[in-house]
Amino acid sequence: MSLHDDLRAIALAEFATAGYAATSLQRIADLAGTSKASVLYHFESKERLLADIVSPALDDIERVVHSMLAEPRVEPVAFGEQFVERFVDLLLTHRDVVPIIINQGATLDDVPVMHRATETMRQIAELFRLASSSTIEKLRFGIAFGGVAYTLASAERLGLSGEIPTDELRSALLSILHDLLVPAASETR
């Protein structure tokens, strides 16, 4: 692993546990056994380092959101089925970044990449609005998807970190989301 990758991994861990605001570039340098100047050589600022960490997850989420927004309006259950798997897979793929976005997004809205994360969440909310015909459906989608993201972001605090194999976790999340979203069809018919 290169120093660039080490710095990124150390920063990710520190941002997720101590928080972005509480993590200094000097702390990252110390943990990497290098100098702050070396960190700045690889990443021109702490903000740029955060963007390097968070942007790939946002790029992937935005691709899914834009593809869903571009599709013709579908019924809520069909929307749920189309979006659920994509969303769960993205969250699991970017599982290490989810805590930063979920737990710190609102307090870091002045940081451009985190503002982008907030806007991406608004686009997801727009998907719920377009796919839902009732308040109950909108809330059901929001609680279901928000709950999955929060659970993954809080895995450590909930005692779930590392103890559940990813394929088992994926299957369980898909099953739970299906159970939460399917009632939307039967209640609106």
The enclosing domain of 177 has a CATH number of 1.10.357
- Is the domain of 78 the same as that of 169? yes
Give me the pLDDT at residue 43, please. 96
Q: Tens digit of pLDDT for each residue in 80-128?
A: 677 788 888 998 999 889 889 988 988 999 999 999 999 988 888 777 7
Give me the pLDDT at residue 183, please. 55
- Is the domain of 90 the same as that of 169? yes
- Is the domain of 40 the same as that of 102? no
Give me the pLDDT at residue 189, please. 44
pLDDT, average across residues 7-24: 95
CA distance 155 to 64: 24
The CA distances from residue 68 to 74, 83, 100, 117, 126, in Å, are 10, 8, 25, 17, 10
Residue 63 tokens read as 């691709």
- Is the domain of 108 the same as that of 68? yes
Using alpha carbons only, give the angle 169, 115, 11 rounded to the nearest 5 degrees. Answer: 60
The candidate with the shortest Cα–Cα distance to 3, out of 40, 50, 42, 31, is 42
More confident residue, 158 or 77: 158
Give me the pLDDT at residue 67, please. 83
